[in-house]
Amino acid sequence: MTATPPSDQAASTPSLSEVTRVRTVHLQRAKAQGEKFAMLTSYDALTAAIFDGAGVDVLLVGDSAGNNVLGYETTLPVTLDQMIPLAAAVSRAAQRALVVVDLPFGSYEESPEQAVRSSVRIMKETGAHAVKIEAGAELCDHVAAVVRAGIPVMGHVGFTPQSEHALGGYRVQGKGDAAATLIADAQAVQAAGAFAVVLEMVSADAAAQVEDVLVIPTVGIGAGNSTTGQVLVWQDMLGLRTGRMPRFVKQYAQLSQTIGDAVGSYVTDVKSGRFPAEEHSFRG
């Protein structure tokens, strides 16, 4: 049998947009081929189906559900038991996207064994494809243990919301000499077997260095445009959440205004008797 020439092999490799079910290997291939990928948070079946159908490559069931779904001020109170039904709903709805689930605060830090137990629960009870762990060099053993258990891990370095108190609040990471620490953390997570790493709220220059030195793809959120992937919280991106937005958020819609106007019209119609009208009623 004649081997396929390298140029023909490259030509026959589908782009990420042509993949019918995104897997970790496709994200790695995207980086190798110079492609970008899009990632959004999702916490329910309806948004997951919409985002999946719109071409989002990765759906993150983030512990940001604490702020955006459960009404907490931070992500810290979120439990594994709260994450699991949200992740299961997203997994049931996603037909193409890779579904990644955050390990919430307190579900993995104690030991590599705890990290494995929590990750196994997510995989068995939700149907998700991977977990995400906020871990740098100091917790790379936890990442490695989960990977050894056969569970794909996405790392998360830079600003890590679960450590906001230790970091002194919402502060940009990786500036100046701190870039070396950021790079070392990302390299440690890669060495532990992670398939990708999120860089949150870090210097764009430092993020570019991390993307350059790593083999695995990076995913930016407030990390400039050099990363292979980008992620945003959907309520921020679509304007469902109002108020002051982080600098890195671009809003593509103002759903809060749209929904508020629609609900206001509904209330007016109900109180005036215009709804339900004849066409909304059954007879006979």
Q: How buried is 95 (Cβ within 10 angstroms: 0-12 exposed, 13-18 middle, 19+ buried)?
A: exposed
Take residue 18 and report the two structure tokens written for it. Answer: 């042509």
**Could you tell me the two tokens for 2?**
């004649």
Q: Which residues contact 91 (CB under 8 A, 6 or more apart)?
A: 99, 126, 127, 128, 129
Give the contacts of 217 (CB within 8 A, at least 6 positions apart): 27, 28, 30, 31, 37, 196, 197, 211, 227, 228, 229
Question: Which are the contacts of 147, defined by CB distance < 8 A and separation ≥ 6?
Answer: 153, 192, 193, 194
Amino acid of residue 252: Y
Question: Could you tell me if 185 and 136 are in contact, meaning their C-beta atoms sit under 8 angstroms apart?
Answer: yes
C-alpha span between 73 and 245 (Å, rounded): 15
Could you say which DSSP state residue 16 is in?
G
Catalytic residue at 35? no
121 in Cβ contact with 79 (< 8 Å) = no
CA atoms of 150 and 93, how far apart (whole Å)? 24
Spatial distance between the Cα atoms of 8 and 255, rounded to a whole number of angstroms: 46
Q: What is the number of residues in the chain?
A: 284
Catalytic: which of 200, 211, 278, 279? 200
C-alpha separations of 267 from 8, 251, 260 in Å: 61, 28, 11
Q: Would you name the residues annotated as active-site residues?
A: 200
